[in-house]
Structure 1
């Protein structure tokens, strides 16, 4: 067993040294079956320490606290006639009371600007009343939340009264990262203090992780544990390639499957914080679907690739650029897209106001189309309405759908109609089973195009209701009495 551990250590050392290029020839000999040993003092002393020394001062611990109100349990004797008679009618004495309790959370963060701009995860600071950061040199500062973006699970903090300039971690181009590259994860797992772990990149476009709207993550086997959230994933040049955000685990600890938000997405959110605190994402006006093996065969492809355009908003940037329904988009801005998640990510990492190139396959012909990157427009007034009365719609808040509203509600494949924005609990709409995001299409034969149409359809009492609505792109019908 001891000899086995020694052999594994030697292999790991050789791999690490070879990645630096110092003993590439020796490592090649080792792969050829020849045994080699370090041939110089420089080779023996190779270490990750220089990278850690340059990066660690810019990785901070993030402490967030929030005050929550808890209702104490109602006294079991409050409704007992005997105790009421014995103590008198002291309702207040038995009434449930609320008390305040402070909840704390611990995470990590990365300083990306000398004036104290820090990137962390949104779930680390969500709902926080106070945020404090601690540097590796034991200095501590209060910090303000200047941007919290739930859709990317990223947040931006700003140190109050920074004083001197802070150390920073420069951004890398995460698109240049390859599977097999060595990376270091730096953070504060379990609150034990700043910790460095080493691993390789296991995947560069992992989806179905489920922690944000944009399912496009770097996967690594570097040990990431609770408390690492918001910490740095860096390459061997000391550049930020990602922000650690999640782990796959059944035990609560690291199983060698960790996920990081790519630096290119992080950089967009950091720039938005400095430009006004609002993340503005490009809109091109397309709906797309994945390409499976059957669809690929029908399109004459040798393998599934790209995304198929299923709808285009009239007058949208994609429409003006000449994109058509049935086009196969294979790349955006020179980066390959293989599924809707990659397509959404590539657009989200572009800046509003510029242009990008869509590589398109149409009837066997390759096309390059220049598409403008614009903000989603509010093509119709929202006309928000609260539905009251005794209809099945009572208790819902509805509004007219436009590209801007669809963007806010995260409805990426709808452009128009009347959408349910919210539903109050214990109301008719809640009992019927409607959900926010449903699009109302028809009520008792009356087409619903605006919120005014819906209000008109609910003004008269009906003995029966025939309702058509769309949910997740599928048309549904319900009949109620």
Structure 2
């Protein structure tokens, strides 16, 4: 089983991991009596997600061949939203509902840019689905509930610690991520539920500094806002992926270290690997534009053109400066999906 990372970036890991830690959140409302009625009524819509991935798939080594987390029921026909890394390259998907039933499911869609994944059970579950709430209503110190499969005993009251940009080392950028405290131990695909019982976000990461840069280290979680799903939802359900041109993809894992952008890993056979980049290389500029930080790298890369665009990288290796041209790729072509 893949297990969760202790931070939002990790030099040894190549993707955010599920975060199923076999720990039940202990809360004053663990018997349900202290939960607002709309929240208590929403909990049966939170399900378990279990997947298996063939050993020869590209993410099997880094994310594991068995993954567990959570998802949220969205309609009467068994449509479930979860965090995408749980279903990436999966050949089997099993949904467990609050009654303990294991239901076979299949992948419906995946969006690399937001990180959302959609699956559907082969038969309806019979539970009331959750409505989309307005995640923009969550501001600093707003209260909400984090929930996983298990009802009230797996529900934790949280507060919003911040709304800010999040840049992930796997070529991922989220403009208005939701950071919450205290840390919910079962974060992968968990539901962020508003006081009115509506769905506000989907759990992505455990982060060591939820309070933000410059603040004391305090563990918490990062949730992907549900408003990020709304404009792409219907297309993702109907076609499995978006029709907009794919962003250019380098196939590198990049960390910010001592003010520099350092390559911490390479996707085997990806664009950067074919161009000869190595772990430990330092990125200085893209198409002669100096790079300020990880978010700046992504914005300049994605504005260079569609997938397949060639970009020039000014780099440093063992104190020697050099330039290399990388023919970018489409990340979706690199992985195998049940929607392909």
TM over 0.5: yes
Assess, with a 3 A threshold, how the Cα gap between structure 1 residues 436 and 213 changes in structure 2: closer, same or farther: farther
Query: Matches of 1:138 and 1:160 in 2, distance apart?
Result: 16
Q: Quick check: 1:147 aligned with 2:112?
A: no
TM-score by length of 2: 0.57
Query: Between Structure 1 and Structure 2, how many residues are aligned?
Result: 227
Aligned-residue offset at 1:279: 2.3
1:208 aligns with 2:175: no
Note the C-alpha offset of 1:415.
4.5
Instruction: Name 1:331's counterpart in structure 2.
Output: none
Contact 1:198 1:223 in 2 (8 A): no
In structure 2, the residue matched to 1:232 is 191
Residue 86 (structure 2) pairs with residue 124 (structure 1): yes
Match of 1:217 in 2: 177
Where do residues 192-207 of structure 1 align in structure 2 (5 Å cutoff)?
A: 195-207=154-166
Aligned to 1:420: 310
Aligned to 1:275: 238
Specify the alignment match of 1:84 in structure 2.
Answer: none
Task: Give 1:271 deviation, angstroms.
Answer: 2.3
Q: Are the structure 2 counterparts of residues 118 and 170 from structure 1 closer, same or farther at C-alpha, using a change threshold of 3 Å?
A: same
Which structure has the highest helix share of the two? Answer: 1
Instruction: Select 2:35's aligned residue among 27, 33, 48.
Output: 48
CA distance in 2, matches of 1:46, 1:237: 16
- Residue aligning to 1:405: none
8 Å Cα contact 1:411-1:437 kept in structure 2: no
Q: Is the 8 A contact 1:188 1:228 kept in 2?
A: no
Q: Work out which structure has the larger RCO, using CA pairs closer than 8 Å and 6 or more positions apart in sequence.
A: 2
The aligned residue for residue 123 of structure 2 is: 161
Match of 2:55 in 1: 68
Helix, strand or coil: the match of 2:132? Answer: coil
Question: Where in structure 2 are there 5+ consecutive unaligned residues?
Answer: 1-26, 58-63, 210-216, 247-273, 276-298, 312-321, 330-340
* SS of corresponding position for 2:208: coil
Query: Does 1:241 find its partner at 2:241?
Result: no
Q: C-alpha displacement at 1:114, in angstroms?
A: 1.4
Q: For the structure 1 residues 235 and 129, does the alpha-carbon distance in structure 2 shift closer, same or farther, using more than 3 Å as the test?
A: same
Q: Secondary structure at the match of 1:68?
A: coil
Over alpha carbons, which structure has the higher Rg?
Answer: 1
SS in 2 for 1:260: strand
- Residue 179 of structure 1 contacts residue 204 of structure 1 at CA under 8 Å; is this kept in 2? yes
Aligned Cα root-mean-square deviation (Å): 3.9
